[in-house]
Amino acid sequence: MSTGTCGKQDTPRYLIIPAAGLGTRMRTLSPDLPKELLSIGGKPAIQYAIEEGIAAGIEKIVIIISDQKEIIRQVFQDKHMAKKYRCF
């Protein structure tokens, strides 16, 4: 984070979430679901990072996914945060 002219730290504008791994260590918990979508406390694990980013004032969220994880894009397609994030 950079320091502005008034000595305040600038809020980061982007949050990048890498979600393209194979998740081999978590496969026993859910062989068909990406680890980012495993439920923790009633919501997908990745949603915690997204919500924290939004609460911190992040303007755009980028989720890096592999073609095997297209389900991540589908899960968040209808969420209230769909305008703030983009999957690549």
Q: What is the pLDDT of residue 86?
A: 64
Pairwise pLDDT comparison (27 vs 43), residue with the higher score: 43
Would you say 9 and 1 are in contact if contact means Cβ atoms under 8 Å apart? yes
Task: State the Cα torsion 25-71-65-19 to the nearest 10°.
Answer: -40
Neighbours of 6 (CB within 10 A): 5
19-37 pLDDT, tens digit each: 888 777 877 887 788 888 8
The residue ranking higher by pLDDT, 68 or 55, is: 55
Residue 74, helix vs strand vs coil: helix
Whether the CB-CB separation of 76 and 85 falls below 8 Å is answered with yes
Alpha-carbon distance of 32 to 62, in angstroms, equals 23
Question: What does each C-alpha distance from 15 to 24, 33, 72, 88 come to in angstroms?
Answer: 25, 23, 16, 13
Domain residue ranges in the chain: 14-87
